[in-house]
Amino acid sequence: MASDPLIPINTPFKYNIGVNYESWGNGRTGYSITADIDQITQYFGLIKTFHDVAVGTVNPNDPIIDPTQQQVISYVVNTANVELAMGTLNNALAQGGFGQPWAPGLMTSSNYTDKWVQMLIDAFGSTAKVQAHLKIILLGNEIDQNGPPPGDPSFGAYKTWIPQAFDNLSGSLSKYGLASIPVSTTIANYGVSNAIAVNVSAYIESHWSHAWVGGKPVVFYNQYTQATSQGPMSSTDYAPVINYFESVYQQLHGKIEPFIGETGYSTFYSQPNQIKVYEQISAWLSGQYQNGGKTVPMFAFDAFDQPSRTPPVEVSFGIFAEDGSHRPTGLKPGLTLPSWTKLPISISGDDRMALFSGVFSPGMTVDGGDGTDTLVLAEPQSVDLSAGKLVGVERLEGSSGGDIVKMTAEGLIAFDFIDLRGGADLLDIISGPGGLPTATTAVGFDAEDALNLQGVLAGRAAVNVIKGAGGVTLGIGGLDLQLVGDFSGGDFMTVARGVGVDAHTLVTFERFLPRLSEGVQVDASSINGVTNEPFLTGDGVVRFVLELKSAVSAHNNTLGVYKVAADGTIFDVNIVFFGTLSVPAAARTVSLGVPGNNEKLGFFLIQDGFDHYGNLSDNLSFVTPGTTAPADFGGGVPPILRSTALGSLTAAPIFHSFATLNLGDANQVLSGVEPGGRELQIGFEDLPTTTGDNDFQDIVIGIRVFPDDQLLV
């Protein structure tokens, strides 16, 4: 990868550089925020703003979104490939100044930050939209220059107000489902003599969330060219600015990634001088970009001039020109920007590349370059590799926890080897327009992992499983998946469900049913409930068939079945066998019909049900205790079986295949696959597992689905 230490390993942004945008206009009479951002997004996909709450509200402790910021947010939410870094006003950290006494900032109150986050969610429209479009929140701007100065009686308190605001906002974001949104701030001049800059940077470093930017702290620092006899920020030599950012990195000892919050040049000192400075900025960043596709994250200041700013040098930092009505007309004359400013980041490197949660985003490219390169999931995560592009990456390595990795079938076969490693992982493969490719690829696969093929319906009979040394080969159409692992003691099952765009096949490895004998206690590790619940889920197409394999018990138990709707309601309760001890051979196989889409099958055993109730009619239902309302799968209490004719049936214990419906969430069943992978077998225990013999062979059933031999891609 590129060697410049200023280039971060991880960034919250999809783009390398962005631009600052002052939404208030500040003297730009007649300006249009929509027209402004239309212009900006021709060159940038990343925008940084300065405003959050409306100024002058009746109750400042009840935040209302600034109307201009709302326009920016609405634009970003409704426009593809535009990201936002959002600052707050400085009164979030300290109120007062300008001749007034200083007071703690608004965000030193956790009640306020709770309201502020709710305001933010309302402004974006939903929590999901905040997560999708807002990449970082910056507390205040240049906080070392915009609060109580050294020597002020409130300066010592100010150093505590900032951490309070940081903690409160972080906590409120987490409270309302936005724990992944980083919180940081912006420093004007970092140096050992700047107590605010040093203390706040250190506090952010030590309190940075592991969920933010791969766990590496980020702080924004601003810097402009040096003063000359012409005035402040008038030098056209950008080298000292580069040296400054490099020195900041060194002073931070690499523990914080310094991002450039503001830099640029004012045409107050002439347009040719602005061009000269931006040429140096572009050359610096392009050198980084050409050596790996990444740069130090930087925000140019500013998008547009601000006519009412003072002193005069502050007016003309804009990089875009305007007409007399303050409508954008393109970049200022003679100013150019690199062609890659709006291209998504390309991560390139050699050997092993760490990918942290939330880093890989749509349009991103990971370029491994030459040699054998491995993309490593540095922490458990859900990552959609189909949204970007992988170049020169030969291997994929999962984290030690459960990962969800989505990729196209073409992306799958581009890897020489995929090692899912520890945890229960899901490899989600999207079949392309041409179906599954005819190719072979190797996957390190554990018994607890799963493979999902989108756009494919592959019944188990259509999947060829060849066992060999060190694993098996799954043949699905022309695609051969060489799964590396220990697959003894079980077999593979497929769950082919869905129609049209929802068609998919889930492939899992299931253990065989353990050997069951009357009165012989099963090892506790084998009491697993129903391990393959997706197999018992319908799609409105597949038909389920149940076979009574055996029934050995002192009780003449009753076996029933019901459906669980997508909303959790238990319905369509039926008896399969009134008494399981006397079922004729010809009557042991029963069709369970065709459950609707996302309807689950559940089974229940009534202990000695035949002796208690005989041939129960099918006017049965499970209800919530104390009511006649249909029971809910997630109700948290065992439901009551009710007969229209007999009322509540409570004379005998009832045990369910779903542990959550049993008293104490007890597992009253165990399950396993029949050799060949086409049948799921379930064994019931007809006594409470706390007091029974736990032989789990009181009723043993097998479930199959039809068709199970289709192969549709």
pLDDT digits (tens, 9 = 90+) for 124-146: 999 999 999 999 999 999 999 99
Domain end position, chosen among 331, 358, 380: 331
Q: How confident is the model at residue 432 (pLDDT cuts 50, 70, 90)?
A: confident
Q: Which of 448, 480, 511 is the last residue of a domain?
A: 511
d(CA 439, CA 299): 45
DSSP sequence for 36-87? HHHHHTTT-SEEEE---BPTT-S-TTS--B-HHHHHHHHHHHTSTT-EEEEE
Q: Is residue 199 part of a domain?
A: yes
> Band of the pLDDT at 541, cuts 50, 70, 90?
very high
Res. 90: pLDDT tops 80: yes
At residue 691, the pLDDT reads 87
Residues 80 and 190 in one domain: yes
- The answer to whether residue 278 sits within a structural domain is yes
Shared domain for 360 and 475, answered yes or no, is yes
pLDDT at 85 (0 to 100): 98
Q: Which two tokens stand for residue 368?
A: 């491994």
User: Which pLDDT does position 356 carry in this prediction?
Assistant: 65
Whole-number pLDDT of residue 2: 39
Query: Does one domain contain both 66 and 119?
Result: yes
317 in the same domain as 371: no
Q: What is the mean pLDDT of residues 398-412?
A: 87
Exposed, middle or buried: residue 696 (CB in 10 Å: 0-12, 13-18, 19+)?
buried
Residue 349 scores a pLDDT above 60: no
Task: From 274, 303, 331, give the residue that closes a domain.
Answer: 331
- What is the total count of domains within the chain? 3
pLDDT at position 357: 65
Statement to judge: residues 287 and 350 lie in one domain: no
Q: How confident is the model at residue 110 (pLDDT cuts 50, 70, 90)?
A: very high
Same-domain check for residues 535 and 681? yes
Q: What is the CATH number of the domain that holds 46?
A: 3.20.20.80
Considering the domain architecture, whether residues 490 and 594 belong to the same structural domain is answered as no
pLDDT at 400 over 80: no
Q: Is residue 340 part of a domain?
A: no
Is residue 535 included in any domain, yes or no? yes
For residue 352, give the amino acid letter: R
Over range 619-627, report the average pLDDT: 95
| Average pLDDT rounded to a whole number, residues 342-352 | 70
69 and 103 within one domain: yes
Identify the residue with better confidence: 381 or 686.
686
331: tokens are: 């970049």
Summarize the confidence of residues 295-319 as an average pLDDT: 97
Q: What is the pLDDT of residues 65-82, one digit of tens each?
A: 999 999 999 999 999 889
Q: Which of 306-320, 463-477, 555-569, 696-710 has the lowest mean pLDDT?
A: 463-477
Range of the domain at 392: 346-511
Q: Are residues 290 and 422 in the same domain?
A: no
Residue found by looking up tokens 């009134």 in the block: 578
Contact 363, 342 (CB under 8 A): no
Predicted pLDDT at 359: 66
Same domain assignment for residues 324 and 364: no
**pLDDT surpasses 50 at 1:** no
The whole-number average pLDDT for the span 199-224 is 94
Average pLDDT estimate for 656-667: 96
Predicted pLDDT of residue 647 = 94
Same domain assignment for residues 128 and 199: yes
Interaxial angle between packed helices 33-40 and 67-77, expressed in degrees from 0 to 180 and rounded to the nearest 10: 40
The model's confidence at residue 422, banded by pLDDT at 50, 70 and 90, is confident
Examine residue 341 and state whether it is found in any structural domain, yes or no. no
63 Cβ contact list (under 8 Å, min separation 6): 52, 53, 54, 57, 106, 112, 115, 116, 119
Cβ atoms of residues 472 and 446 within 8 Å? no
pLDDT of residue 677: 96
The answer to whether residue 358 scores a pLDDT higher than 80 is no
Query: Is residue 283 a part of any domain in this protein?
Result: yes
What rounded mean pLDDT belongs to the chain?
93
Q: Looking at the domain assignment, is residue 3 inside a domain?
A: no
Q: Is 219 part of any domain?
A: yes
For range 427-436, the mean pLDDT: 84
Q: Do 180 and 90 fall into the same domain?
A: yes
Averaged pLDDT, 314-331: 98
Say yes or no to pLDDT of 348 above 90.
no
